[in-house]
Amino acid sequence: VIVGGAVIGSSVAYWLSENPDYDGTVLVIEPDPTYQRASTTLSEASIRHQFSNPINIALSQFATEFLADFHTHVEVDDEAPDLGFRDTGYLFLATESGMEAMRENHEVQVACGAEVALLNPAELTARFPYLFVDDLAGGSLGLRHEGSLDAYSLMRGFQGRARHNGVEYATDRVVDLALNDAGNRVAGVELASGKIVTCGSVVNCAGPRARWIAEMAGLELPVEPRIRSVFSFDCRESLEGSLLPLTIDPCGLHVRTDPPHYLTGVPPDPDLEVDPDDFRVRHDEWEEQVWPALVHRIPAFERIGVTHTWAGHYAYNTLDQNAVVGPAGPVPNFIFANGFSGHGLQQSPGVGRAISELITYGEYQTLDLRELGYDRILRSEPFVERSVI
């Protein structure tokens, strides 16, 4: 049983259903078949290789490899969704105080095979003349395999192929888990409809609500919903030079092109847990944080107009802002795929494959994700990743 049918849950379902060595059935429980409030569909749908940890880099590298041939992987009756990938790159900017970490990250990225370039202020100006660089010491630009895509199409591609392979999706809500007498194994899943589904394993793909699913198994998971407001805007002045990458300013602001518009946002301050049903856009962020930072970094953005806004949730891992993947030690047939903290979409292909390997073979067969395991949560030992947006 997979709890949650958005991009992570549907990736797990896809990979299980594609594996000829898996001889079980798959049931995905999803309360909202429209996915209107899923973190997947409300995300800004981007992918990057510029992480500081080789595991995160490898997950994104596999994703770009897989997505490059997505149509072949998920086609049903010769049809598959178009991801609309835009290879615009990510551009991390740094002041002098951030350059040492940027150089160290760059060394790791290059060693892992990522195609990235360190740029000094003059080189930034040559490529992106619309940037204000006087307070910058440099930047890191992804040259290939970074950009944005259609999140809904990615999710639907996984879902369509999984259904074609026999995966069942049920519109229902998990209200409790039935454990065995020893309390160390999930025996069944109780649904809001009153049904009880027996199972061999449960995969928690419940996004920002994952903590409450874990509690049903007697497990603690440091994952909570945190709001992220997104502002779409038009600019009256054309930006001369290279197309604006997804640019991350030292102040925390990010902005990217979304033709014919731009998308931008900033982490709230303070960044606190919100109710999982709270999707109110924090409009004050625009005037107080976002617009001033935009104008400072790209002066042409002084004359812009907001076209629309929305808000979604990070499934925020309060320990280290990285995914929790794999079995729960005390309840080994309860499997985590949670706490991606904004990285879920780009990590969904690799994590889905990894979870399917665990269920089928009892171990990872391709990419070893043990460092992202639940044991680190029990030990309170963070997984170190410095490039978190």
Domains by residue range for the chain, with CATH: 2-83+150-222+320-379 (3.50.50.60), 90-143+224-316 (3.30.9.10)
The DSSP letter of residue 203 is E
The confidence score (pLDDT) of residue 241 equals: 81
How many CA atoms, within 13 angstroms, populate the side-chain half-sphere of residue 184?
4
Two structure tokens written together for 80: 């598959």
Give yes or no for a contact between 127 and 241, defined as CB atoms under 8 angstroms apart. Answer: yes
Give yes or no for a contact between 49 and 116, defined as CB atoms under 8 angstroms apart. Answer: yes
Amino acid at residue number 278 = D
Strand pairing report for 223-235 and 304-317: antiparallel
Residues contacting 228, CB < 8 A, separation 6+: 265, 267, 268, 311, 312, 313, 314, 342
**Cβ-based neighbour number of residue 232 at 10 Å:** 15
Give yes or no for a contact between 373 and 382, defined as CB atoms under 8 angstroms apart. Answer: no
Cis geometry, peptide bond prior to residue 81 (ω within 30 degrees of 0): no
- What's the maximum distance between 2 C-alpha atoms anywhere in the chain? 67
Amino acid at residue number 270 = P
Two structure tokens written together for 68: 């490059």
CB < 8 Å & 24+ apart, contacts of 141-144: 141/89, 141/90, 141/91, 141/116, 141/117, 141/245, 142/48, 142/49, 142/50, 142/89, 142/90, 142/91, 142/114, 142/115, 142/116, 142/245, 143/89, 143/115, 143/116, 143/117, 144/87, 144/89, 144/115
Nearest to 258 by CA among 327, 188, 308: 308
Give the integer Cα–Cα distance in Å for 138 and 112. 22
Cis geometry, peptide bond prior to residue 270 (ω within 30 degrees of 0): yes
Torsion-angle region of 321 (φ positive above 0: left; ψ -120 to 50: alpha; else: beta): left
- Mapping DSSP to helix (H, G, I), strand (E, B) and coil, where does residue 293 land? helix
Nearest to 221 by CA among 234, 231, 211, 235: 211
Nearest to 117 by CA among 297, 245, 259: 245
- Each of the 389 residues of the chain gets a pLDDT tens digit; together they read 999 999 999 999 999 999 999 999 999 999 999 999 999 999 999 999 999 999 999 999 999 999 999 999 999 999 999 999 999 999 999 999 999 999 999 999 999 999 999 999 999 999 999 999 999 999 999 999 999 999 999 999 999 999 999 999 999 999 999 999 999 999 999 999 999 999 999 999 999 999 999 999 999 999 999 999 999 999 988 898 888 999 999 999 999 999 999 999 999 999 999 999 999 999 999 999 999 999 999 999 999 999 999 999 999 999 999 999 999 999 999 999 999 999 999 999 999 999 999 999 999 999 999 999 999 999 999 999 999 98
Cα dist from 166 to 17, 86, 159, 170, 204, whole Å: 7, 32, 11, 13, 20
Nearest to 80 by CA among 150, 3, 180, 168: 150
Taking the alpha carbons of 124, 128, 131, 132 in that order, is the dihedral positive or negative?
Answer: positive
Give the integer Cα–Cα distance in Å for 134 and 131. 9
Nearest to 93 by CA among 226, 244, 228, 239: 244
Nearest to 356 by CA among 330, 376, 374, 337: 337
The confidence score (pLDDT) of residue 243 equals: 87
How many CA atoms, within 13 angstroms, populate the side-chain half-sphere of residue 245?
26
- Mapping DSSP to helix (H, G, I), strand (E, B) and coil, where does residue 88 land? coil
